[in-house]
């Protein structure tokens, strides 16, 4: 049995329910690919694909349990003003894969859920371009999805680990991607998703990134920091919950209720140790 699943179900979920913390934050789910069949060939913790069957099971669970979707642009405000007992959930997709259009969106639409998709614009074109061996959305598909209510945000231009880039490249990656999406859609783009592991232990870098995002015009953003979105957090660096085909219904529910948030402590400590062991190198620790 997975250690993170066991700890979440048998230790942290009972504690979370007893303290009532499962009602005090908004889960933002982080998806990537939605293939017809599960293509995971790595440890479940690192898997970034969710099969169509499992994805529909998870969306059905949200519907049956009264969750309402919220866009990333609206999430920080909605979390503050949500009515007592209202269940909100953010549903996000990184990398702009075409299987969002073919596989994920029909399911979301069937159950009445909106989603936020983050685009690495170098891999988005008028004909399909590939990222990590898989086709990405085209601009015509993106415009069609936008008319149907899908929110689109930036995932940089070339999907680098921004901490490894120079200041000028970092600003170009966050600024130019937003400009291109705005030009193609003819509307303001407010949201950003950080690619790769978010180097939260590097406070100096995080400060510079925040300045670049604010100057570019972003108002909210998401990271790979594990956990739900709490009240009063930085709207540019919201936490998310990784989801994949290995999340059975009990584990999925535990994540939604906050029983997976404990893992952020382990995640943070791992990043901190990585930085201390190699202070002169720019390393992107795992999520």
Tens-digit pLDDT profile for residues 233-266: 899 999 999 999 999 999 999 999 999 999 999 9
Sorted by sequence, the CB contacts under 8 Å of residue 130 that are 6+ apart come out as 123, 136
Residue 198 lies in a domain: yes
Tens-digit pLDDT profile for residues 275-287: 555 544 343 333 4
**Residue 257, domain extent:** 3-277
Residue 170 lies in a domain: yes
Position 273 scores a pLDDT of 78
How many domains does one find in the chain?
1
Residue 17 lies in a domain: yes
Residue 283 lies in a domain: no
Tens-digit pLDDT profile for residues 137-169: 999 999 999 999 999 999 999 999 999 999 999
Position 221 scores a pLDDT of 98
Residue 287 lies in a domain: no
Tens-digit pLDDT profile for residues 18-66: 887 656 689 999 999 999 987 677 888 889 999 999 999 999 999 999 9
Q: How far apart are CA 119 and CA 105, in angstroms?
A: 16
Q: How far apart are CA 217 and CA 118, in angstroms?
A: 16
Residue 64 lies in a domain: yes
Residue 286 lies in a domain: no
Residue 235 lies in a domain: yes
Q: How far apart are CA 53 and CA 260, in angstroms?
A: 23
Q: What is the CATH number of the domain that holds 112?
A: 3.20.20.370
């Amino acid at each position: 049995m997975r250690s993170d699943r066991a700890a979440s179900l048998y230790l942290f979920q009972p504690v979370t329910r007893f303290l009532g913390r499962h009602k005090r934050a908004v889960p933002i789910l982080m998806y990537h690919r939605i293939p017809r069949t599960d293509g995971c060939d790595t440890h479940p913790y690192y898997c970034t694909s969710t099969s169509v069957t499992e994805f529909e099971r998870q969306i059905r669970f949200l519907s049956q349990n009264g969750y309402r979707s919220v866009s990333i642009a609206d999430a920080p405000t909605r979390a503050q003003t949500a009515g007592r007992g209202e269940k909100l959930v953010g549903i996000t997709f990184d990398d702009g894969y075409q299987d969002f259009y073919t596989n994920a969106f029909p399911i979301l639409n069937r159950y009445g859920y909106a989603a936020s998709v983050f685009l690495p614009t170098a891999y988005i074109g008028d004909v399909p371009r590939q990222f990590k061996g898989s086709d990405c959305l085209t601009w015509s598909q993106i415009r069609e999805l936008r008319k149907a209510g899908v929110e689109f945000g930036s995932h940089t231009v070339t999907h680098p680990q921004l901490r490894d880039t120079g200041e000028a490249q970092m600003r170009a990656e966050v600024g130019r991607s937003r400009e291109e999406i705005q030009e193609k859609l003819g509307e303001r783009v407010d949201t950003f998703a950080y690619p790769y592991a978010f180097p939260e232990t590097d406070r100096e870098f995080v400060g510079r990134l925040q300045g670049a995002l604010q100057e570019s015009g972003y108002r909210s953003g998401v990271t790979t920091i594990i956990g739900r979105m709490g009240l009063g957090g930085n709207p540019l660096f919201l936490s998310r919950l990784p989801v994949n085909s290995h999340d059975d219904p009990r584990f999925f529910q535990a994540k939604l209720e906050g029983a997976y948030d404990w893992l952020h402590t382990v995640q943070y400590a791992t990043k901190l140790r990585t930085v201390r062991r190699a202070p002169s190198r720019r390393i992107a620790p795992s999520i």
